[in-house]
Amino acid sequence: MSFLSDIKDYPWTSLLAGILPSRIAARLPERFQAPSSQIVPPASVAGRALTVVIAIMTFLACLTAGGVYMVHQSASAWVDDIASEITIELNPLNTADVEKKMTLVALFLAKQPGVTRVTPMSADDSAKLLEPWLGSTAALSALPVPRLIAVEIDRSNPPDMKVIESALNQNFEGVTLDDHRRWQSEIKTITRSTALGGIVVLGLVAAATVAVIISATRSAMATNRGIIEVLHFVGANDRFISSEFERHFLGLGVRAGLAGALAAAVTFLLLPFLLHLLGGGAVTEAETRRLLGTGELDIWGYLLLVVIVVVVAALCTITSRLGVFRVLKSYA
Amino acid sequence: MIRFDNVGLRYGSGPEILRDVTFHVHPGSFHFLTGPSGAGKTSLLRLLFMSLRPSRGLIFVFGENLADLPPAGRAALRRRIGIVFQDFRLLDHMTTWENVALPLRVMGQTESDYADDVTDLLHWVGLGNRIHAYPETLSGGEKQRAAIARAVIGRPELLLADEPTGNVDPAIGNRLLRLFVELNRLGTSVIIATHDYALMDQLEAPRLMLHEGQLQVGASQIGVR
Question: Per-residue pLDDT tens for B168-198?
Answer: 778 778 878 888 898 899 889 999 998 888 8
Query: How many other CB atoms sit within 10 Å of the CB of residue A273?
Result: 10
C-alpha distance from A241 to closest chain B C-alpha (Å) = 9
Residue A12 confidence (pLDDT): 61
Mean pLDDT of B149-175: 86
Enumerate long-range contacts of B110-117, CB under 8 Å, 24 or more apart.
Answer: B114/B153, B117/B153
| Distance of alpha carbon B23 from alpha carbon B186, whole angstroms | 24
SS3 state at B123 = helix
| Distance of alpha carbon A251 from alpha carbon A134, whole angstroms | 54
Question: Strands, E, within chain A: which ranges?
Answer: 85-90, 115-120, 147-153, 175-178
Nearest to A235 among B51, B85, B107 (CB): B107
What ipTM does the predicted assembly reach?
0.86
CB B193 within 8 Å of CB B43 = no
Q: How confident is the model at residue B136 (pLDDT cuts 50, 70, 90)?
A: very high
Side-chain half-sphere of A235: how many Cα atoms within 13 Å?
A: 24
Q: How confident is the model at residue B47 (pLDDT cuts 50, 70, 90)?
A: very high
Average pLDDT, chain A: 81
Interface of B with A (CB under 8 A): 49, 51, 71-72, 75-76, 78-79, 81, 83, 85, 89, 91, 93-95, 98, 102-103, 105-107, 150, 154
User: Is the pLDDT confidence value at A6 over 70?
Assistant: no
* Alpha-helix residue ranges (DSSP H) falling in B49-200: 71-78, 96-106, 111-124, 140-152, 170-185, 197-200
- Could you read off the pLDDT of A183-212 as tens digits, one per residue? 778 878 887 888 888 889 889 988 998 888
Strand partners of residue A149 = A88, A120
Nearest to B177 by CA among B204, B150, B203: B203
Residue A45 confidence (pLDDT): 77
Residue B115 confidence (pLDDT): 92
Nearest to A74 by CA among A289, A302, A271: A289
User: Is the pLDDT confidence value at A279 over 60?
Assistant: no
* H-helix or E-strand spanning residue B82: strand B81-84
Residue B183 confidence (pLDDT): 87
Tell me which chain B residues have a C-beta less than 8 angstroms from the C-beta of A43. Answer: none
- Could you say which residues from 191 to 250 on chain A have a Cβ atom under 8 Å away from some Cβ of chain B? 226-227, 229-238, 240
For chain A, the straight-line distance linking the first and the last C-alpha, in angstroms and rounded, comes to 25
- Could you read off the pLDDT of A146-186 as tens digits, one per residue? 888 988 888 788 888 888 888 888 888 888 888 877 777 88
Mean pLDDT of A281-288: 59
Provide the CA B122 distance to its chain's centre, in angstroms. 18
Q: How confident is the model at residue B222 (pLDDT cuts 50, 70, 90)?
A: very low
Q: Do A229 and B89 touch (CB under 8 A)?
A: yes
Residue A155 confidence (pLDDT): 78
| Distance of alpha carbon B62 from alpha carbon B2, whole angstroms | 6
Q: Nearest chain A Cα to B76, which residue?
A: A235
Nearest to B91 among A227, A232, A237 (CB): A227
* Positive or negative: CA dihedral A148, A152, A155, A157: negative
Q: Nearest chain A Cα to B151, which residue?
A: A234
C-alpha distance from B98 to closest chain A C-alpha (Å) = 7
Mean pLDDT of B92-99: 94
| Distance of alpha carbon B45 from alpha carbon B48, whole angstroms | 5
| Interface probe, candidates B79, B99, B102, chain A, greatest A C-beta count within 10 A | B102
